Chains A and B, each alone.
Chain A
Amino acid sequence: MKLKKIMASFLAAAAAITCLTACKTDGDSGSGDNSGDNSTTSGATLRIGGSGPLTGDYALYGNGVKNGAQLAVDEINAAGGINGVTIEFRMEDDEAAEEKAVNAYNVLKDWDMDLSIGTVTSGACIAFGAEAAKDNMFLLTPSSTAVECIAADNAFRVCFSDPNQGVASADYIADQSLATKIAAIYQSDNAYSAGIFDKFKSEAGNKGLEIVSEQSFTSDNATDFSAQIQSIKDSGAELLFLPIYYSEASLILQQAKNAGLDVKVFGCDGLDGILNMKNFDVSLAEGVMLLTPFAADATDEATVHFVTEYRAKYGDETMNQFAADAYDAIYIIKAAAEKAGINADMSASDICNALKTAMTEITVDGVTGTSITWAADGEPSKEPKAVVINDGSYKAM
C-alpha cells in the first residue's frame, strides 16, 4: 500500500517532468505555437530530424548516420546554409525498434521538424514512415533498404533496395562467370539480409546458378559459424555469398580460414566497413568481392574530402557506408531544396510537396554514386560499384 503511494508520487513527478519537457521544447521552438498551426516552421532555421539506433546491438549504424549527417550539416551551414537558411539537425535514438522509432518521430515533431531523413533500419523506417506519411512529412532515408520503407509518395532513399541488391549480385556473379555452385550464409531474423537473399535466390535460378548450400544464423546465434562453414565445405561450393553485416562477416572469414574453406567470397554493401574494423587482420578479407555504392579508399575528390573530414572529426570508428549515405542524404536534401526554392517559412507539408517534385528533377553527384536520379517511387538510380579487396584496400573490378 505505502509503496504504491510512493509510486503515485513518482508518477506525479513523472507527469510533471513530461509537461516540463514539453513546455521546454515548445519554448525553444519560438513562434511555432503562436499561429495554432502545428506544422508551421520555426522562423529562421530549417530543422531536419532523424532517428536510428544510437544504443544497443545496431548502435554502430545509427552513430554512423548521425555523424555523417552532422558533418554535412556543419559544412552546409559554414557555406551559408540552404537558400541562405541555416539548418539544424537532430538525431533521436530508436534502438532499431519500431515502437521507439514512432516515439522518436513524435519527439522530433515536438521539436518542429520540417523534414526528416527517416530512420536507419528497415523495420523502424516502415513505422516511422507511416507516421510521416500521415503528416505529409518529407522523408529521405539514408540506409533503410526494405521495399516497404518508401511505399508512401513522400519517401525517398539514398541506398539500394534489398531486391535491387539481391538481383544485382546474382547478375554480377553470373555475368562475370565467377562461379556456378553457390553457398550463402544470411541472417534469417534480419529483414535486410533475408530480403536480399530471397531475391538473390530467385534471380540465381533464372541465371542458371546453383545454390548448393543455404545456411543462416540469427542475432541470438551469431558467434559460432563452424557448423555452417563445415556444411558449405561439404557441399563443394565455389563461391560464398554473404548478404550480411561486417561484424558477423569478420567472424565467418576467420572461421572459414581456420576450417580451411577455400572459396571466393561475395558480399553486399553490409560488408563495407570490414577494413576499418579496429585490429582486423585484413589478410582474411583478401579477395573478397562486394557490391557497394561507397568505398572509403576511392580516390575521387568527393570521397577523399568526405573521408578526410570525417576522420578528423569523428575518428575511424563509424566510418562506414551508413555515414556516407547520411552525408549524401543531407546534400541531396540541399540540392532538392534549392531546386524547389524552399524557405524557412513554409509549413512541413508544403516543403514536402515541393521536395517531392524537386526530387525527381535533380541529379546529384555524391559520395555513394555519381549522377544519381530519383523516380517518383523514391528509388534512386545509380550504379553499384563492384570492388575487390586487395592488400587491405578496395580495387575496382
Chain B
Amino acid sequence: MSFLSYLVSGISLGSIYALIALGYTMVYGIAKMLNFAHGDVIMVGAYAIYTICITWGLPPLVGVLGSIVICAVLGVVIEKVAYKPLRKASSLAVLITAIGVSYLLQNAALLIFKSDTKSFTSVVNIPSLDLFDNQLHIQGETIATIVVSVIIMIALNLFINKTKPGRAMLAVSEDKGAAQLMGINVNSTISLTFLIGSALAAVAGALLCSSYPALSPTTGAMPGIKAFTAAVFGGIGSIPGAMIGGVLLGVIENLSKGYISTQFSDAIVFGVLIIILLFKPTGLLGKKINEKV
C-alpha cells in the first residue's frame, strides 16, 4: 500500500510540475526562449489569490479568476517590455533578461508582501478519497490537480491544432518570417502565447499553494526549475511531452525518496534524468532535429 501512496503523491506533485511545464514549453515552442521568470509568475498568481481571498475575504473562485487575469496581464506586459525589444537578439540574451525579470518579480514581492511565509488556504473544495479500508488516502487537491492538468493539456492541444489563432502559433513556431508573409500577426501571436502561458501559471500557482500551503517570495523558483527540467525531459516544445515529463519527474522523485534515500533524492532524480537524456537526447517526445549543412 505504501507503493500506491508514493505513486499517488508522486502523480500529484508531478501534475503540478506538468502544469508549470506546459507554460514553459508553450512559450519555448513559439518564442524559442526559456522563460526563467515563469516560476515567479506562479508566485505572483499565488499572492494574488492570497490577497483576494484571504486579505479581502472574497470567495475562492473570484480569487482564481482574478489571479488568472492578473497573471495574464503581467505576462503580456513582461513580454512587451522586456522580451520584445530582444526579438532579434540571441536566445541567450533573452534568457538573461528572463533571469532579470525573475529577480525583479521576487524582489518586488519581497517589498510588497514582506519576507514572512504565509499560510495559504486551499481554493479546492473537493472531499478527499479514502480507498482500501482507509489505507490509501487521496487529497481533494490531488484529484483537482490531476483533472485540471489533463483538461488543460487536452484543451491546449485542441486549441493549437484546431483553431485559427492556435494554428497561427504553430506557423510562427515553424517559421516566423514565412508566417508573417502569410498574413499572420507575429507580434500578437507571441503576445497571445504569453497570455495563455501566464494564465496557466496562475492556475498552477493556485494548485501548487493549495496542495503545499506555504507562500513566500521564493515559492515559485524551485518548482520553476523543476518544471523546466520536466519540460526538457519530455522534449521541450511538445505539449504532451511536458505533461509526461512533469508526471514522471514527480513520480521518480517520490519513489526514490520512498525506497532509496531522502538524503540523495536530488542526486537520484537528476541522475535518472541524465541517463534518460543520454538514451533519448531530445527528451521523451522531442522532435528529432534534422541538421542540414
User: Which residues from chain A sit less than 8 Å from chain B, CB to CB?
Assistant: 54-57, 59-60, 62-63, 188, 215-224, 226-228, 230-231, 234, 246-248, 250-251, 254, 258-260, 277-281, 316-318
Collect the chain A residues with CB atoms within 8 Å of residue B258's CB: 227, 230-231
Chain A min CB distance to B113 (Å): 9
A-B contact pairs, 23 of them (CB 8 A): A55-B110, A60-B115, A60-B117, A188-B262, A188-B263, A221-B253, A223-B208, A224-B212, A224-B250, A226-B5, A226-B12, A227-B10, A227-B253, A228-B262, A246-B117, A247-B216, A250-B119, A258-B128, A278-B116, A279-B50, A317-B115, A318-B115, A318-B116
Q: Is B222 an interface residue (CB 8 A)?
A: yes
Residues of B49-97 contacting chain A, CB below 8 A = 50, 54
Q: Which of B54, B137, B213, B222 contacts A250 (CB 8 A)?
A: B213
Complex: A296 Cα to B247 Cα, angstroms: 42
Q: Are the C-beta atoms of A230 and B212 separated by less than 8 Å?
A: no
Pick from A220, A227, A250: contact of B266, CB under 8 Å: A220
- A316: chain B residues within 8 A (beta carbon): 116
Instruction: Report Cα–Cα, A60/B216, bound state, in Å.
Output: 10
Tell me whether B223 is interfacial, beta carbon within 8 Å: yes
Q: What chain A residues lie within 8 Å of B104 (beta carbons)? A: none
Residues of B226-281 whose CB lies within 8 A of A:
250, 253-255, 257-258, 262-263, 265-266
For the complex, what is the distance from the CA of A76 to the CA of B217, rounded to whole Å? 34
Check A216–B262 contact: CB distance below 8 A: yes
* Interface residue ranges of B86-130 to A (CB < 8 Å): 107, 110, 114-121, 128
Q: Is there a chain A Cβ closer than 8 Å to B214's Cβ?
A: yes
Knowing A55-B107, A223-B222 touch, does A234 contact B2 (C-beta < 8 A)? Answer: yes
Q: Please report the C-alpha to C-alpha distance between residue A217 and residue B257 in the assembled complex, in whole angstroms.
A: 9
Question: Do A224 and B214 contact each other (CB < 8 Å), given the known contacts A218-B266, A278-B118, A281-B119?
Answer: no
In the bound complex, how far is the Cα of B217 from the Cα of A259, in angstroms?
27
Other-chain contact of B223, A218, A223, A248 (Cβ < 8 Å): A223
User: Nearest chain-A residue to B5 (Cβ)?
Assistant: A230
Chain A residues positioned under 8 Å from B128 (CB to CB): 258
Contacting pair B117 A227 (CB below 8 A): no
Query: How many angstroms between the C-alpha atoms of A250 and B214 in the bound complex?
Result: 7
Do A59 and B118 contact each other (CB < 8 Å), given the known contacts A221-B265, A230-B2, A230-B258? no
Chain B nearest CB: distance from A231 CB in Å?
Answer: 6
B135 to chain A, nearest CB (A): 10
Inter-chain contacts of B212 with A (CB < 8 A): 223-224, 251
B54: which A residues are within 8 A, CB to CB? 278-279
**A226 and B262: CB pair below 8 A?**
no
Cα–Cα, bound, A62→B213 (Å) = 23
Q: Closest CB of chain A to B260's CB: distance in Å?
A: 10
Set of chain B residues within 8 Å of A318, measured between Cβ atoms = 114-116
Q: Does B218 count as interface, using CB distance less than 8 angstroms?
A: yes
Known: A227-B258, A228-B257, A251-B213. A60 touches B9 (CB 8 A): no
Question: What distance in Å separates the Cβ of A68 from its nearest Cβ neighbour in chain B?
Answer: 14
With contact pairs A226-B5, A254-B213 given, residues A280 and B223 touching in the complex (Cβ less than 8 Å) = no
Chain B residues with CB under 8 A of A251: 212-214
CB of B139 within 8 Å of the partner chain: yes
Chain B residues near A (Cβ < 8 Å):
2, 5-6, 9-10, 12-13, 50, 54, 107, 110, 114-121, 128, 134, 137, 139, 208, 212-214, 216-218, 222-223, 225, 250, 253-255, 257-258, 262-263, 265-266
Chain A residues, CB < 8 A from B118: 277-279
A227 neighbours in B (Cβ, 8 Å): 6, 9-10, 253-255, 257-258, 262
Judging by beta carbons under 8 Å apart, are A59 and B121 in contact?
no
Smallest Cβ-Cβ distance to A231: which chain B residue: B258
Contacts of A260 in B (CB 8 A): 134, 137
A54: min CB distance to chain B, Å: 8
B-chain residues with CB within 8 Å of residue A231 when the two chains form the complex: 2, 257-258, 262
Given contacts A218-B266, A224-B13, contact A247 B120 (CB under 8 A): no
Instruction: State the 5 A-B residue pairs at the shortest beta-carbon distance, nearest first.
Output: A59-B115, A227-B257, A226-B9, A280-B119, A247-B117
How far is it, in angstroms, between the C-alpha of A227 and the C-alpha of B250 when the chains are bound? Answer: 11
The reply to whether B117 and A250 form a contact with Cβ atoms under 8 Å apart is: yes
Q: Is the CB–CB distance between B116 and A216 below 8 Å?
A: no
User: What separation, in Å, do the CA atoms of A277 and B250 have in the docked complex?
Assistant: 28
Q: Give complex CA distance A13, B217 in Å.
A: 32
Q: How far is the CB of A314 from chain B (nearest CB, A)?
A: 10
B115, B137, B213, B266, most chain A CB atoms within 10 A = B115
Query: Which residues does chain A contribute within 8 Å of B225, judged by CB atoms?
Result: 220
Q: Are B121 and A220 in contact (CB under 8 A)?
A: no
Chain B proximity of A28: nearest CB distance (Å): 26
Question: How many whole Å from A373's CB to the nearest CB in chain B?
Answer: 33
B256 to chain A, nearest CB (A): 8
B266 touches A60 (CB 8 A): no
Q: How far is the CB of B26 from chain A (nearest CB, A)?
A: 23
Could you say which of A224, A250, A254 has the most chain B C-beta atoms within 10 Å of its C-beta?
Answer: A224
Give, as a whole number of angstroms, the nearest-CB distance from A67 to chain B: 11
